[in-house]
Amino acid sequence: MKINRLKGFFLAIIGASLWGFSGNTAQYLFQEHHIQAEWLVSVRMVIAGFLLLILAGMQSSRKEIVNIWKDKKSRLELVIFSLAGMLGAQLTFFICIEKGNAPTATLLQFLGPVFITLYVSLKLMKVPAKHEFAAISFALAGTFLLLTNGNLDKVAVPADAVFWGVLSGVAVAVYTVYPVQLLRRWPSSVIVGWSMVIGGSALSLWTMPWTTDVPNSFEVWALLAFVIVFGTLLPFYLYLDSLRYITATETSLLGSAEPLVATFVSVIWLHTSFGLYQWAGALFIILTVFLLSLPSTTPIKAESSRAL
């Protein structure tokens, strides 16, 4: 039993770390090769989505891949989730990286649980519990330190990156809350696979990635493959596999490794400037996840379909 739990911890941490590294890989593509975020998101989503569906079919979900389209209610919910949830979360996250950097995007995205807490409290007309108030306070303080680095006269993060980062947190809240009923009826791999294909295809109609002039070099295509396989496909399955050995709450908490890895890698590899107060802000934001994992009188029961 103890060995299985350790295995679950290992799988969850590796998956979160790969997500963190993937954000920096995207930042490198934006900065060094001038790849557009919209192009990367559309290509990444379509290819990763099809690969997820193939793997789902290999894991006895073949009927579900087709049957989800035969159910009218599920079909409508899937399309809405694909556009408002999956595409919204992916696009805002990568645009934030493009406008700012990977650590900022990852940390602002971690505000998603705070938006969920506020949404559920307003919906149920219930005052958040004390630890939820504390989590919201830590999130606000952490965001302030992250964006200012303790200096009120100078913002450390571009305003447009802040806009897309906060919007990313809202999108993650939608992404997490909306598909709860879908996840109860269909395998998560099928939902995430189709939503990536749908969302990526919809974005492709606008960006037309096949007309974009992309640097034709081994490095570009190798990094793109890394983002798709090691930044999407592999961490998604590691995340799911970890749930066989540890609880969803534990997996979610271990997911806090993502912003830490994203920050360390960005500072070491991409030489991103990250001040002492920003490190403190990062820890404050991560602490909100731990606080919101505590038992609450406010029933927040959102099942995550995370595959970022």
pTM comes to 0.90
Dihedral angle sign, alpha carbons of residues 61, 67, 68, 69 = positive
Return the top range by mean pLDDT from 133-142, 194-203, 264-273.
194-203
User: In this structure, what token pair is assigned to residue 173?
Assistant: 């809240």
| Nearest of 9, 13, 6, 8 to residue 235 by alpha carbon | 13
Cβ atoms < 10 Å from Cβ of 76: 10
DSSP secondary structure letter of residue 79: H
Is 15 within 8 Å of 234 (Cβ atoms)? yes
**Which tens digit of pLDDT belongs to each residue from 105-160?**
999 998 988 898 888 888 888 888 888 888 889 999 999 999 888 787 777 889 99
User: In this structure, what token pair is assigned to residue 59?
Assistant: 């894991």
127 vs 105, 124, 136, 184, 300, CA distance in Å?
A: 29, 9, 13, 28, 13
3-state secondary structure of 293: coil
- Give the orientation angle of helix 88-99 with respect to helix 102-109, to 10 degrees: 140
Question: Which range among 27-41, 229-243, 263-277 shows the weakest confidence by mean pLDDT?
Answer: 229-243
Residue 16 pLDDT more than 80?
yes
